[in-house]
């Protein structure tokens, strides 16, 4: 139901796609449009839209670098900031995020954390000083969001939030999560210390897919908002519902094929280029999304159809065999990735290349199979318009600090290893956000310059284009699009849905029209049996 007036608590229900993944906003394997929105509602961010989050922080910024550091950042945490279980937000949460993201494969935007050499905490945990070996111009993106280290640090980071978010520090907390039933319920966070708490007490998420269930629930006012991946005619159907507005938006996410340099099949750049050349991007995009019109195709995608038809992948054909086929990994929890993988395998087979799909959990793919050369490429959601931080994350070599932390993390989990064994730590494997394993010293120097802000947008784009022309590491397939539907009685950031700066991420500002609630309460009263 959209409201629970009989209990005296306001409620808004939202229809979403099936909840197939975990709830960790930093894992590429968990990432989704829904999770990005959910994290905005339940986790604290140091900066929002590039502006200081003055409800979490009293101050943050660069200071005179410490000895040996290229950059030092200071964060002063608001004394009132706390997690929903009453635990204060402290520097321990910063330290946890640094150590974890610097030592975990398949995470988002790791490059900034890989430059951190030390985090010092003082003033009862409320002041945090961060030293970096190289300057990070986009430092405002660090530590956003923070995670509750006191409840997620004891187990595996990859599984700690598979089915729940144990503590929150946003306007809402997760009161109930049942991914198998496709339902998550948020309650207003009574421990939220900010000046503007959530206007509505309960937000309910329920999976609806793109079928008629969501249509019926919007039509009969059970759902006040919908955010789903659109089918071919989904928006047309919702547009006909009286009392509802619709819009289709393109998010900042891009379905991307990442080819591994550790692969025995595409480890050579010539084979990777041939793999890219045989991909008919518009055709794969259609099959991945189930739509044929208004797709968010990457630049130059239409030229790939003719190129694919005329390609002759001689090197790739010679590298693959029946015993060791070209193997494309895709997490079955991401249906677009799984469908794209099957399409690419079919295109390869049509060129006489033995090929297969590996349906495997993304974490297993990036932690084990890709580095070991057991799969050749993986499909996942990446960044559509990467900034310098994203580019550095995608192409950087593991740094000595990252290798040390990876070795330390493994030692802590296994209880083995000798502390201070720098030689062994330096040899530790780990790709971080780099899903290809690519590492080149000259490229690394350019990446550090870009990360420091010494490379303009045009120069960065030209650098990436040249690198990709030569190495063919990442092949973009299709941008993500979302259909949003809002009933007229839902009051959000603006009267017209098309003017909303964000969708579900703004739910803390939402409330239902009072006249609508009163009228429905009267109707329900009349429908009650005598």
The single residue listed with the structure tokens 């973009």 is 476
CB neighbours (10 Å) of residue 431?
A: 25
Cβ within 8 Å of residue 190, ≥6 positions away: none
CA dist 160 and 165 (Å) reads 9
Q: What percent of the chain has pLDDT over 70?
A: 90
| Strand, helix or coil for residue 218 | helix
- At 319-368, the pLDDT tens digits run 999 999 999 999 999 999 999 999 999 999 999 999 999 999 999 999 99
CA dist 18 and 180 (Å) reads 9
CA dist 268 and 342 (Å) reads 23
Q: Which of 180-184, 196-200, 419-423, 505-509 has the lowest mean pLDDT?
A: 419-423
pLDDT at 408: 57
pLDDT at 526: 65
pLDDT at 426: 38
CA dist 191 and 189 (Å) reads 5
Q: What is the DSSP string of 229-242?
A: ---SSHHHHHHTST
Q: Which ranges in the chain are annotated with CATH 3.40.190.10?
A: 1-43+153-242+489-529
Query: Taking residues 503-514, what's their average pLDDT?
Result: 94
- At 43-84, the pLDDT tens digits run 999 999 999 999 999 999 999 999 999 999 999 999 999 999
* pLDDT at 1 exceeding the cut of 60: no
Residue positions counted in the chain: 530
Query: What's the distance, Cα to Cα, between the start and end of the chain in Å?
Result: 22
Helices (H), 320-440: 335-350, 362-364, 388-395, 400-414, 422-426
Q: What is the DSSP string of 443-510?
A: HHHHHHHHHTT-S-HHHHHHHHHHHHHHH--EEEEEEEEEEEEEETTEE-SSSSGGG-S-SGGGGGG-
CB neighbours (10 Å) of residue 499?
A: 10
* pLDDT at 170 exceeding the cut of 90: yes
Judge: domain 252-409+431-480, CATH 3.10.105.10.
Answer: yes
Determine the topology of domain 44-146 in CATH: Dipeptide-binding Protein; domain 1 (3.90.76)
pLDDT at 524: 65
Q: Which ranges in the chain are annotated with CATH 3.10.105.10?
A: 252-409+431-480
**Gyration radius from the chain CA atoms:** 24
Average pLDDT, the chain: 91
- Comparing 525 with 261, the larger pLDDT belongs to 261
* pLDDT at 208 exceeding the cut of 80: yes
Query: Taking residues 180-185, what's their average pLDDT?
Result: 89
pLDDT at 422: 43
* Token representation of residue 459: 């120069």
Q: Would you call 183 exposed, middle or buried from its count of C-beta atoms within 10 A (0-12, 13-18, 19+)?
A: middle
pTM over 0.85: yes
Q: Which ranges in the chain are annotated with CATH 3.90.76.10?
A: 44-146
Answer whether 97's CB lies under 8 Å from 91's CB: no
Q: Which of 125-134, 153-162, 453-462 has the lowest mean pLDDT?
A: 153-162
Q: What percent of the chain has pLDDT over 90?
A: 81
- At 213-261, the pLDDT tens digits run 799 999 999 999 999 999 999 999 999 999 999 999 999 999 999 999 9
pLDDT at 132: 97
Judge: domain 1-43+153-242+489-529, CATH 3.40.50.10310.
Answer: no
The conformation of residue 329, written as its DSSP 8-state character, comes to: E
pLDDT at 424: 41
């Amino acid at each position: 139901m959209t409201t629970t007036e009989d209990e005296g608590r306001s409620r808004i229900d939202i229809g979403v796609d099936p909840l197939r993944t975990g709830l960790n906003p930093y894992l590429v394997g968990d990432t989704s449009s829904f999770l990005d929105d959910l994290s905005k509602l339940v986790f604290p961010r140091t900066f929002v839209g590039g502006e200081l989050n003055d409800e979490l922080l009293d101050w943050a910024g660069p200071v005179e670098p410490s000895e040996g550091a290229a950059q030092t950042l200071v964060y002063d945490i608001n004394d009132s900031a706390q997690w929903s279980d009453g635990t204060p937000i402290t520097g321990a949460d910063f330290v946890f995020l640094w150590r974890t993201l610097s030592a975990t494969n398949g995470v988002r935007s790791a490059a900034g954390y890989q430059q951190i050499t030390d985090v010092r905490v003082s003033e009862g945990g409320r002041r945090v000083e961060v030293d970096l070996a190289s300057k990070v111009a986009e430092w405002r993106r660090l530590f956003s969001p923070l995670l509750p280290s006191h409840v997620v640090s004891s187990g595996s980071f990859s599984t700690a939030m598979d089915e729940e978010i144990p503590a929150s520090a946003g306007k809402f907390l997760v009161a109930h999560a049942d991914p198998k039933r496709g339902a998550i319920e948020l309650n207003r966070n009574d421990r939220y210390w900010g000046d503007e708490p959530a206007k509505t007490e309960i937000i309910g998420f329920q999976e609806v897919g793109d079928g008629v269930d969501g249509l019926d629930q919007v039509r009969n006012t059970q759902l006040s908002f919908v955010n789903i991946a659109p089918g071919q005619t989904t928006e047309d159907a919702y547009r006909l519902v009286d009392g509802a507005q619709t819009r289709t938006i393109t998010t900042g996410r891009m379905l991307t094929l990442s080819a591994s340099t550790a692969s025995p099949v595409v480890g050579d750049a010539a084979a990777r280029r041939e793999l890219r050349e045989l991909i008919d991007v518009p055709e794969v995009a259609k099959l991945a999304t189930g739509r044929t019109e208004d797709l968010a195709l990457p630049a130059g995608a239409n030229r790939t159809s003719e190129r694919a038809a005329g390609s002759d992948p001689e090197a790739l054909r010679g590298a693959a065999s029946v015993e060791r086929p070209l193997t494309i990994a895709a997490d079955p929890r991401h249906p677009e990735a799984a469908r794209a993988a099957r399409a690419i395998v079919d295109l390869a087979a049509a060129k006489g290349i033995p090929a297969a799909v590996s349906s495997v959990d993304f974490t297993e793919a990036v932690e084990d199979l890709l580095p070991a050369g057991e799969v050749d490429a993986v499909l996942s959601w990446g960044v559509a318009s990467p900034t310098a931080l994203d580019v550095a994350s995608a192409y950087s070599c593991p740094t000595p600090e990252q290798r040390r932390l990876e070795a330390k993390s493994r030692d802590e989990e296994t209880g083995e290893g000798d502390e201070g064994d720098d030689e062994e730590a330096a040899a530790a494997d780990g790709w971080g956000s780099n899903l290809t394993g690519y590492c080149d010293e000259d490229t690394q120097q350019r990446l550090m310059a870009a990360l420091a802000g010494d490379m303009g947008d045009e120069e960065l784009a030209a650098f990436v284009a040249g690198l990709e022309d030569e190495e063919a590491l990442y092949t973009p397939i299709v941008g993500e699009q979302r259909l949003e539907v809002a009933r007229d009685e839902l009051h959000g950031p603006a009267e017209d849905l098309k003017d909303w700066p964000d969708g579900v991420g703004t739910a803390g500002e939402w409330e239902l029209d009072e006249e609508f609630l009163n009228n429905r309460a009267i109707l329900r009263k009349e429908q009650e049996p005598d």
